[in-house]
Chain A
Amino acid sequence: MRKVQIIIAAILLSLTACTPTTTSPPQVEKTLTIMTHDSFAVSAEVVAAFESANSVSLQFITSGDVGTALSRAILSRNNPIADVFYGVDNTFLSRALDEDIFEAYDAPALADIPDGFKLDNQNRVLPVDYGDVCLNYDIAYFANHDLEPPTNLEDLLKPTYRGLLVVENPAMSSPGLAFLFTTISHFGEDSYLQYWEGLVANDLLVVNDWETAYYTEFSRWGGSRPIVVSYSSSPPFEVLYSEEPIDTPPTAVVTSPGSCYRQIEFVGILRGTTNRALAEAWVDFMLSPQFQEDMPLQMYVFPVNPQATLADAFVRFLAVPTSPASLDPALISANRETWLQDWTLAVLR
């Protein structure tokens, strides 16, 4: 009997000792809650600058990938869990707008941002950053095999490149979906499936997620495929996060016109916020040079504000695609399901 009590007491004690103590927020007037996806990152210094300037405490809520976080925002719109949502991109944009979860905000900083990034004329979502989904290749593989690396999408149909490409499933992965959109934009709605059938005939490998494609199948990381769908920022990442300092990236990007897909990420004020003024201040801050200059090395995306200067470490190893592809969000919204179904039938069956 006593033994049992001791044990229960011990368990409870160890429990209270181990559990993370919920740190009560410092005594500031208000909390601004920002909902986002789990790739979001920002430096502590930048957050502190905003917090002290506005005497507010920021709380970030991350809920899985963009799709999941957006679903959460839509489903909780009657009782919004956050004041601001950041991270919806142009592939999910129409869903967010159709569900009407954002309040319009004509931020002053929009005047500086090129019109090409503004995809909602009512300014319910405001562009923050962009990045490009491109074909990456393993430089060493092509050097060792005396092969020229591919320079455009059409090259991938050649027998020389048979069995060299791995892509992500567009139904399950965001870069995979972006690559499907690249082919639709480049070859047109009528002939993109023909292109994919060609890829299948050339021994294409499809996996479900970026992690498997990059770290399991890509030849740089022990796989057998030297061409992979990834981001234009992946080569600089390989340099910055190399094991030992290296001076050139081990991978490179295919940048020919129309072979990359431009993803733009947006921020919006969630409908029903009780902190409208602070939410506006945060949106302004995200578009200001201070945040825009912090972003590249945190998330490896480009700032949309041309006034932001890019760190040398960021641009040195970067190949910028010439005229990347893009699709109209309304067209995506209307066809997403059909495209995915047709693609699945043509490629996976």
Chain B
Amino acid sequence: MRPTPRYRSLPIAILWLLPVAYLVTFYFFPLANILGISFSRLHDGGFASLLQTLVSPYILQILGFTFWQAALSTLLTLALGLPGAYLLARYEFRGKSLLQALMGIPFVMPTLVVAAAFSALLGSRGLLNLGLMDLLNLTEPPIHFSNTLGAILLAHVFYNTTIVLRMVGDFWAHLDPRLEHAARILGANHWQTFKQVTFPLLFPSVAAASLLVFIFDFTSFGVILVLGGPHYATLEVEIFYQTISLFNLPLAGILALLQLFCTLGMTILYGRLAARLTLPLALRPQRFTQRRLISWRSRFFAMAMISLLFTLLMLPLTALAIRSVTRLEPDRGQRSHQPGFTLDFYHELTINRRQSIFYAPPAAAIGVSIGYASATAVFSLLLGLPSAIALTRDRRNALNHLMDPLLMLPLGTSAVTLGLGFIIALDQPPLDLRSSWLLIPLAHTLVAYPFVVRSLAPALRSIRPRLRQAGAVLGASPLDVFLKIDLPLAGRAILVAATFAFTISLGEFGATALIARPEYPTLPVAIYRLISQPGAMNYGQALALSTLLMIITAVGMISIERFRIAEIGEF
């Protein structure tokens, strides 16, 4: 049954009203503003030489490396994330939601702290190197970690695996296993079943997760800077260098546009693939799709997978947490110094030692962070839900066609360019937000909103249209259809989306540092303030605050998990 044309186009335009208004005000307007200012600084005839620079070997090499490391990172993230998603989707075991929450923590950690954690494990005087030197009687550390491509890749996997676990895992958990069973009964082996039944059904969520991971890696800044070292540069790093170090705004502007078009290209490519391969499915409640770990094989798989995830994602974080309660002062050979347990760093956090006007006690920083994160979750759901519904209603609608790739642009836009645009464009009436706290969640929503749409759309798309049609035939209004059919079916996906929005905001540093009022620092800003000063107390406090950030993240994610809107019912 096809909806009548009138019925089809009107609601879609209405659904897009709020998202379009938001994107125009908080994305396109600031971006146009900063690019306008940047290009107005060009001398006459400067544009030709600018384009020449754009295709110079120097820039092309940076572009090539940006693509190469992003592709490699995405593949590695999928290689770890897909088996992990399978484990979380198909098996039921104790502590699963805790495991899921823990796996999300890396996503929010500040790069400087993560780098310190990795170095404590893998650095030239890290645990692993010291152990190996001891074991193999070596005089030089066998593993070179800092300033290598390997460090970049490892950190990207560390940060982004949770995206695959969440997005693919939740979709997979509701795939009807009877299709696989049918294939097996018809004689297909495990691999054939996966290749010809499961993967095609799973594809929309894999593609959506890969796109997000790829764009995150493509626009990577902190990881490249801190772990990759000065020998590696992505477009984002080069844009920062041109903007801040050289103040060459025209070149920075054109590089930002280049990065933007690459993102747009990837998104359009994704749209084509997803459109061809998305099928409406019968989703099933988890209790029908999940098994206990009974067989010897499944237990072995679960053990191996959980250990692998823990080693890669949890070990560095654990090292950090342990260091935050350990005396750090190295032995200076002057007096015997026993490393031991201490809560000094946590205690010191509550003291305003310098009587500084910007001092914020940890509880205040936690409150500010959670406040912004909750606001971001609400904003991005308010925008993301109508967008995702519109996108799934009618694929041929012209507005959908336009908005689908456009809404991804904020993710691919250079943070330094957009950040400067944001604060210089939104400082005059009618939108004078320069000192409003709203500015921060509004900025965080730019990153969170595409995430929300991308994690909702596959779930909504997979709801069989005939369920809605049946509802409509039986007299339900469009709102009723949404509330009684779509919402319960997509309930899990909405929670996943909210979790992402919440954690994106919790961990965001770049934009926050640019906008936040110094009296109200978020946790990452407060951590950065401490780690940028010498002294054991400062460093220890940064580690302590990072540990608090981890705990807040885990608690936040577990509480969102409890907020079950509805479990998929039976139809």
A residues with a Cβ closer than 8 A to B are 1, 3-4, 7, 11-12, 14-15, 18-20, 22, 38-45, 47, 59-65, 67-68, 71-72, 74-76, 79, 81, 95, 139-140, 143-144, 169, 171-172, 205-212, 214-217, 219-224, 230-231, 234, 237-238, 240-244, 250, 297-298, 336-337, 340, 348
Contact = CB atoms under 8 A, between A and B. Distances in A.
A189 B562 CA distance: 65
A195 to B, nearest CB: 18
B244 A71 contact: yes
19 contacts: A4-B483, A15-B374, A15-B378, A18-B370, A19-B372, A74-B247, A207-B230, A208-B230, A211-B532, A214-B534, A215-B539, A224-B124, A231-B534, A242-B536, A243-B537, A243-B540, A337-B246, A340-B245, A348-B230
Nearest to B357: A44
B354 interface: yes
Contact of B535 (A62, A64, A211, A237): A237
Interface string B238-282: 001101111110000000000000000000000000000000000
Contact of A217 (B146, B344, B514, B536): B146
B374 A208 contact: no
Nearest to B432: A79
Contacts of B483: 1, 4
Given A208-B226, A237-B535, A222 B355 contact: no
Contacts of B528: 38
Contacts of B240: 172
Contacts of B120: 222
Contacts of A220: 330
Interface stretch (B80-88, B166-174, B286-294, B423-431): B423-431
List 3 A-B pairs, minimum CB-CB distance, nearest first: A241-B535, A19-B371, A241-B537
A50 to B, nearest CB: 11
Given A75-B420, A171-B241, A211-B112, A243 B327 contact: yes
B328 interface: yes
Given A15-B375, A19-B371, A81-B427, 13 more contacts: A18-B371, A20-B371, A20-B520, A38-B525, A61-B518, A68-B244, A140-B333, A143-B333, A207-B147, A212-B226, A224-B125, A242-B537, A243-B342
B398 to A, nearest CB: 31
A283 to B, nearest CB: 18
B43 interface: no
A39 B344 CA distance: 24
B245 A207 contact: no
Interface stretch (B62-70, B188-196, B434-442): B434-442
A243 B434 CA distance: 39
Contact of A207 (B146, B371, B514, B533): B146
A253 B303 CA distance: 52
A65 B356 CA distance: 19
A76 B427 contact: yes
A4 B374 contact: no
Contact of A206 (B230, B368, B416): B230
B529 interface: yes
Nearest to A144: B333
B115 interface: yes
Nearest to A21: B437
A298 B367 CA distance: 26
Given A18-B374, A41-B356, A237-B534, A208 B229 contact: yes
Contacts of A206: 229-230
A209 B535 contact: no
Contacts of A143: 333
A4 B368 CA distance: 27
Contacts of B229: 206-208
B225 interface: yes
A246 to B, nearest CB: 8
Nearest to A82: B434
B34 interface: yes
Contacts of A297: 354
Contacts of B248: 337
B116 interface: yes
Contacts of B123: 216, 222-223
B329 A216 contact: no
Contacts of A75: 34, 37, 420, 424
Nearest to A169: B230
Given A71-B243, A172-B241, A38 B565 contact: no
Contacts of A241: 533-538
A94 to B, nearest CB: 11
Contact of A72 (B420, B518, B520): B420
B143 to A, nearest CB: 13
A74 B37 CA distance: 11
A208 B112 CA distance: 11
Contacts of B226: 208-209, 211-212
A22 B370 CA distance: 15
Nearest to B34: A75
B297 interface: no
Contacts of A42: 356-357
Interface string B345-372: 0000000001111100000000110111
B118 to A, nearest CB: 9
B434 A20 contact: no
A164 to B, nearest CB: 13
A208 B245 CA distance: 13
Nearest to A5: B483
A172 B241 CA distance: 7
Given A207-B229, A243-B329, A348-B231, A216 B34 contact: no
B513 interface: yes
Nearest to B240: A172
B29 to A, nearest CB: 15
A206 B245 CA distance: 17
Interface string B403-446: 00000000000001000100110011000001111000000000
A290 to B, nearest CB: 14
B247 A11 contact: no
B344 A243 contact: yes
A12 B378 contact: yes
Nearest to A208: B225
Contact of B356 (A44, A139, A215): A44
Contacts of B125: 219, 222-224
B535 A242 contact: yes
Contacts of B428: 79
A348 B58 CA distance: 14
Nearest to B528: A38
Interface string B291-304: 00000000000000
A215 B533 contact: no
Contact of B115 (A59, A68, A212, A214): A212
B332 interface: yes
B119 interface: yes
Nearest to A12: B378
Contact of B518 (A43, A60, A215, A244): A60
Given A144-B333, A250-B332, A216 B534 contact: no
B563 interface: yes
A252 to B, nearest CB: 13
A243 B323 CA distance: 13
B487 interface: yes
Question: Which one of B246, B357, B437 has the greatest number of beta carbons of chain A within 10 Å?
Answer: B357
B531 interface: yes
A91 B240 CA distance: 18
Contacts of B487: 4
A248 to B, nearest CB: 9
Nearest to B525: A38
A278 B517 CA distance: 21
A244 B230 contact: no
A68 B512 CA distance: 13
Interface in B112-167: 112, 115-116, 119-120, 123-126, 141, 146-147
Interface in B486-535: 487, 513-520, 525, 528-529, 531-535
Given A217-B146, A241-B537, A243-B344, A20 B368 contact: yes
